[in-house]
Structure 1
């Protein structure tokens, strides 16, 4: 607690006191009219300054405000012995309040930046999902679509829909259950004797609809159970092997 209770008026107006200081200063306000007036004016000033939409302040504003505050401290005139506070000129009180609002605006800018990034990321994911759905529909609507399927040895089914006109296919996996903990399904496209990963499902995931570009160039689609991080080659025995006609 500061030795001069009058000096807490600014922090009180800005709700920057701890519980003990706030209670002490609230009792002080009942007996000190100058502090009541000053606290009211500061609270009104802060409210007006913070009202409406904020914007990022110019780079030098904070330094200028802090410099002004450093040269306009409240002091007691020589010879004065009473505890009554000396009120700074109204312009200086506005400057002090502005400094706080600038600091709050700076913090707000950081929050806004984070929120803006989240919105942009969500928009990007939505656009990707929309593009993926559009691509999936175009493949399934192809006039030359060929559909083949096979059962998973652990239960369930894998279906492959392939279109040479679209040079792509759609692999649908619907397993009865997910692999054991730490394991995951992995899709493969097989060209000749060479398997290439077409994606690893998340651990605990038992179904997926996957667009595979260039699928008609493959001879088969395989499904295997691998470590959750995936493998470079399928682990035998594979769960299913669907021939592409």
Structure 2
């Protein structure tokens, strides 16, 4: 896939490029002062986001990891002998069919990985657009005692990047919902998915909103907030 090298500034700063892409962009970067300046600013902002979302690992984590290593069987050495081909009668046609099925499944997995990579690159481009906007503003707030929520907003783009750390997991019937608040009635900015690895969320529709808020709502979200916000942040 061909890229305008300047489109890879965000993924490069977020370490989201493949090795060939990183090498190609590195050659471009050596002669492009514009990209170098953008990366310097973007890395400063992403560092602030990472620090806001970071958490100290539990003290017992190292012991659990070492115990798992001790009881995990190591992989056997690779085979050096060539496997017989079907022509030599060493493999049954049933085994050949099984290999073909495995290849098809592997191809499907590769397609899904390709789709995931494209989705990640699209997300990185959206995140970098907000973080590098001239009017980007960062706000961080603590909630629920130890949780942290950071919002980087750009009014010119009408978007914001939201990162969270340590929010309490809710019952299956509940979800966290984000809102644009004031001067008109609140309007939804989507729900937060806390499953899997934490990652930034890009939300749109900022408009003339003056604050960002999060409430606890029924699963699927609500048309209007049904509970008091657990946090609110001012927007610039």
* TM-score normalised over the length of structure 1: 0.50
- 1:223 equivalent to 2:214? Answer yes
Q: 1:195 aligns with which of 187, 204, 223?
A: 187
1: CA distance, partners of 2:210 / 2:154: 13
Quote the Cα distance in structure 2 between the aligned partners of 1:164 and 1:184.
Answer: 27
Which residue does 1:116 correspond to in 2? 107
CA deviation after TM superposition for structure 1 residue 181, in Å: 4.1
After superposition, residues 1-245 of structure 1 pair within 5 angstroms as 47-50=84-87, 100-101=92-93, 103-175=94-166, 177-182=167-172, 183-190=174-181, 192-202=184-194, 208-227=199-218, 229-232=219-222, 233-245=224-236
Pair 1:133–1:48, CA change in 2 (3 A): closer
In 2 relative to 1, CA 208–120 (structure 1 residues): closer, same or farther, beyond 3 Å?
Answer: closer
Unaligned runs of 5+ in 2: 1-82
Question: Would the alpha carbon gap of residues 48 and 231 (structure 1) be closer, same or farther in structure 2, given more than 3 Å must change?
Answer: closer
Alpha-carbon contact 1:188-1:196 (below 8 Å) kept? yes
Residues 189 and 197, structure 1, Cα contact 8 Å, conserved in 2: yes
Offset at 1:158? 2.5
Give, in angstroms, the shift of residue 238 of structure 1.
1.2
Aligned mates of 1:204, 1:114 — CA distance in 2: 24
How large is the RMSD of aligned CA atoms in angstroms? 3.4
- The 1:197–1:187 alpha-carbon spacing in structure 2 relative to 1, beyond 3 Å, is same
Corresponding position of 1:16: none
Q: Is the 8 A contact 2:189 2:203 kept in 1?
A: no
Contact 2:86/2:92 (8 A) holds in 1:
no
Higher relative contact order (CA 8 A, sep 6+): 2
- For residue 204 of structure 1, report the CA deviation from its aligned partner: 9.1
SS at match of 1:108: helix
